[in-house]
Amino acid sequence: MGSYENASAGYSLGGTSGYLDGSDVKGKNKGQMMDNFYQKTYPANAAYWVQGSIDKRFKVGDQTLLSMMYGDNNYYQTRRWFFNLIRRQINMICGFQRKNRKSTITIPNHDADPLADEFNACLKWSEERDGFQEYLSEGFEGACDTGMSLLHLYPDYTLDPISGDLFTDQVAYNNFLIDPYFRKQDLTDCSAIWRRRWVTNVQAQALLPGHAKEIAKMRPSGLKDGRFPLQAELLNMATNQLFAYDEFHYRDTREATTILDPISGEAVLWEDDEEDSEDEMERTLRQQPWLVVKKTQVPTVRLCIRLGGRVLYDGPNLLNIDSYPFVPLLTYYEPDIQSYAWRVQGVVRNLRDCQYLYNMRKVIEMDILQSQINSGWIYPVDAVVDPKSFRQSGQGFLVPLKAGHLPNEIQRIEAASIPQSLLELSRSLSEDITRISGVNEELLGAATDDKSGILSMLRQGAGLTTLQTIFDKLDYSQRLYGKIRLQAIRKNFSKGKISSILGHAPSERFFTSHSLKYSVFVEEGNYSASQRQMELQQLLHFREIGMTVADKTIWRAAFLTNKKQAEEDAAEQAQQQQQAQQAQAEQQSKVENAKVMASFAKAKSDLAREKEILASAQEKISKIQDNQADAERKRMESDLGLVKMMIELEDMDFNQMRSAFEMAQSIKLANQSGPLPQAVGQ
């Protein structure tokens, strides 16, 4: 990783030697390269600078624009009125962005990957230390004004000379020179970006510690080359005491070592680590002999620094990454338009004509109003001792008459009245500004019609749809910036610093490029002031949708001023509620037990009643059985009597016996079927 300390101590910009001697031929060649780039891209950028300057003047309500509107007319020079309707349109759009800020987060490609949590913690810590959200809002407002601004990520080694801290700077439209033919928002097809700043001698020594002694002997010369003519610093009377500090980032290639795995078909760039041994690659190849090592040319971004016209550094960029440390914030960008002045536009650009016409109409209306003369006095010159007495009210006019003349001899020229059509035109022009910007009255909070809340919400949604392209570009720029910051953290922060941020040692995959390629991806999420607050919002959202989240987990993520006391009070209240619930549960248990006992007693009573009914049934069955037995006994006795009768008749012959037996059977059958009918006459 690179450090920003004195080069004599073994450190230099970007981690490799990039300082150049003032007489070095390489420095002269790089200076010539910068000059050639400026000459080729200045016409297009100058056209954009001019239009951007006009956009800014319209946005702030510059009253000197009247000279551009009406020319050098003394009459209008005394009427520098500017009725600014553009600013509220910009304030609404930028205010909506500030109200709905988003955080930069990483999401794991695989479930339950702790690496994303570590990246999120480091990103959040770096952004909060940096104040990134405010710079993002400022850059977005600058893009709404002129069409484009840049976010610049740079390291600062003031408080941490080993790892440094990452800070953001918002670069306005007139402080950078960019390749006018780039098309991609990630700047992968941009050839170079030139940023100019103005620094003092002390600041220059801090920025270029390797040339501190040389810079101390240099004398600022101010502006000599006449470049970047629209910078606000050029109006500073003390420019001759400042150095022009130029940072020229340009596309180049570097030789890299790629490790190929023929088995898995995967390719990974080999990155050297200070803690690795010199033979780390040889040891890796011995352990995995099937790997193939290949030298390739990788696209990268280099940095050339020039101070006061002298090239003092040329080497890797300060973040030691292969991407630009810049991310453009764009509003309306049409790369296929030939005229660069109209290729990049902000919200203000299309509102300028309406603002111009509206302001002109307002000036005319005020001129007509002032041309109408108020009431006054007509008097003979010798009728009043002191004519100044008519002026005591401070209004009106005086018309003195010579003696012998009458007031009816004077004919008044009536002033022109303001036609109603002129007022309607002014009102129409003000409404055109709202329609062109895409901001409706609901979004401005100025709707006066009596409409339902649902209709108002639909109007707000329709208004936001017209601005969706602007906010989508902002979200994409924030994701790109998050990727750059994550790469810079991985490249520059030491393991000790990462451990201090996380509270524990980082995982082994934290510093590998493989993790950024396959493990996580950067996304924008709900904005919160810190990583813990964002975690708290997510936990509360999970509980709202019905997921089980323990109170202890929420308390751990909460960040309160008197968190311990609040947690103890909550625990005490929870214990009291638990005791009350336990007492209620015991009472309820007693009630339930009583109900069970009553039910048991009722069941026993019902069982006894059933047994009684069963016993009565058994008794009836026994009586029935006794009756049946008695009837059977009687039948047997009857049969026995018949047998006895048969025995008594044993002395009869066989025929008589058979006749007697048949008669006996008939009698028996007759007895079973019923009594025999009595003989007639008996």
pLDDT of residue 55: 92
Give the rounded percent of residues in the chain with a pLDDT score beyond 70: 72
- Which two structure tokens, joined as six digits, stand for 113? 């990957």
Top-confidence residue, 567 or 191: 191
Number of Cβ within a 10 Å radius of residue 465: 10
Token look-up 């055109």 returns 432
As beta bridge partners, residue 302 has 250, 316
Query: Coil, strand or helix: which one is 288?
Result: coil
pTM here is: 0.71
Q: What angle do CA 538, 543, 545 make, to 5 degrees?
A: 95
SS3 annotation, 251-299: EEEEEEEEEEECCCCEEEECCCCCCCCCCHHHHHHHHCCCCEEEEEEEE
Examine the pLDDT at 506 and tell me if it is beyond 50. Answer: yes
Q: What is the DSSP letter of 484?
A: H
As beta bridge partners, residue 306 has 246, 311
Number of Cβ within a 10 Å radius of residue 551: 12
User: Domain-by-domain residue ranges, the chain?
Assistant: 7-347+469-524, 528-559, 565-673
What mean pLDDT comes out for the span 417-436?
69
pLDDT of residue 372: 60
Q: Given CA atoms 559, 560, 564, 568 in this order, what sign does their dihedral have?
A: negative
The span from the CA of 179 to the CA of 193, in Å, is 7
What mean pLDDT comes out for the span 92-102?
87
Q: Is 594 exposed, middle or buried (0-12, 13-18, 19+ CB in 10 A)?
A: exposed
Top-confidence residue, 648 or 51: 51
What mean pLDDT comes out for the span 352-361?
81
End-to-end distance of the chain based on CA atoms, in angstroms?
Answer: 147
What mean pLDDT comes out for the span 504-530?
68
The span from the CA of 213 to the CA of 682, in Å, is 169
Q: How confident is the model at residue 379 (pLDDT cuts 50, 70, 90)?
A: low
pLDDT of residue 449: 52
Q: How confident is the model at residue 602 (pLDDT cuts 50, 70, 90)?
A: confident
Q: Which of 215-219, 325-329, 516-520 has the lowest mean pLDDT?
A: 516-520
The span from the CA of 139 to the CA of 474, in Å, is 10
Nearest Cα to Cα of residue 170 among 204, 129, 122, 132: 132
Q: Are 670 and 676 in contact (CB under 8 A)?
A: yes
The span from the CA of 218 to the CA of 239, in Å, is 15
Angle between helices 420-437 and 86-99 (to 10 degrees): 30
Angle between helices 352-371 and 420-437 (to 10 degrees): 160
No. of H helices and E strands in the chain? 21, 15
pLDDT of residue 7: 36
pLDDT of residue 680: 41
What mean pLDDT comes out for the span 176-188?
94
pLDDT digits (tens, 9 = 90+) for 531-576: 556 667 777 777 777 777 777 777 666 665 566 677 677 777 778 8
The span from the CA of 145 to the CA of 126, in Å, is 28
420: Cβ contacts below 8 Å, ≥ 6 apart: none
Examine the pLDDT at 248 and tell me if it is beyond 90. Answer: yes
Number of Cβ within a 10 Å radius of residue 136: 25
Nearest Cα to Cα of residue 117 among 497, 489, 481, 502: 502
pLDDT digits (tens, 9 = 90+) for 130-156: 889 999 999 999 999 999 999 999 999
The span from the CA of 641 to the CA of 637, in Å, is 6
The span from the CA of 626 to the CA of 621, in Å, is 9
Give whole-number Cα distances, 650 to 172, 219, 412, 660, in Å. Answer: 152, 173, 178, 10
The span from the CA of 63 to the CA of 76, in Å, is 11
Nearest Cα to Cα of residue 399 among 430, 375, 370: 375
pLDDT digits (tens, 9 = 90+) for 29-43: 888 999 999 999 999
pLDDT digits (tens, 9 = 90+) for 302-317: 999 999 888 999 999 9
The span from the CA of 128 to the CA of 148, in Å, is 24
Nearest Cα to Cα of residue 135 among 474, 523, 537, 484: 474
The span from the CA of 301 to the CA of 487, in Å, is 14
**Beta strands at 292-307 and 102-108: parallel, antiparallel or unpaired:** unpaired
Give whole-number Cα distances, 370 to 359, 393, 416, 549, in Å. Answer: 16, 18, 11, 71
The span from the CA of 648 to the CA of 642, in Å, is 10
What mean pLDDT comes out for the span 602-607?
82
373: Cα separation from own chain's centroid: 59
Mean of the per-residue pLDDT values of the chain: 78
Q: Which of 117-121, 351-355, 540-544, 614-618 has the lowest mean pLDDT?
A: 540-544
Q: Most confidently modeled of 54-63, 353-362, 455-464? A: 54-63
Examine the pLDDT at 682 and tell me if it is beyond 50. Answer: no
The span from the CA of 68 to the CA of 73, in Å, is 10
